[in-house]
Amino acid sequence: MSYFRLNLSVAAIAGLTLLMTPIASRAADGPSAERGYETYMRIGCFQCHGTVGQGPISGPRLAPNPLPVEAIRAYIRAPAEVMPPYVESVLSDAEVADIHAYLESIPEGPNVEDTILGD
């Protein structure tokens, strides 16, 4: 097999692998807040923690200023009480990192003292 041919098949395998990898688990481009939002809504975190992590529906507030990604990952794999656990086959580490990026992107609300309510 010539060097050129070998190179081509390596490129083809790499291309195929990329095609077969679900978008959400591609780590090459790092965590994405946009994908995190989609996952957060699709998998249902919002039902208990609110669409912007504001809580408290039945789960506590998650944002702004979320826990570090390692803490969120550890928590959702083995929650303490009411919250259902999410195993890796349901929610990958990359998807958890996306969710963390989403929670981190949520801005702090205005200070009550700075609003008309504070007057």
For residues 8 and 23, which CB has a smaller minimum distance to ligand HEC in the complex?
23
Closest CB 40 distance from ligand HEC, rounded Å: 6
SS3 4: helix
Nearer to ligand HEC, 22 or 84 (CB): 84
Query: Within 13 A of 37's CA, how many CA atoms are on the CB side?
Result: 8
Return residues touching ligand HEC (CB under 6 A).
43-45, 47-49, 58-60, 62, 67, 72, 75-76, 79-84, 86, 91, 99
Shortest Cβ 55–ligand HEC spacing (Å): 9
For the bound state, the minimum distance from the C-beta of residue 26 to ligand HEC, rounded and expressed in Å, comes to 19
Query: Which residue type sits at 64?
Result: P
Q: How far is residue 77's CA from residue 56's CA, in Å, rounded to a whole number?
A: 21
Spatial separation of the C-alpha atoms in residues 67 and 2, rounded to whole Å: 53
How far apart are the C-alpha atoms of 83 and 87, rounded to whole Å? 13
Q: Which is nearer to ligand HEC, 62 or 106 (CB)?
A: 62
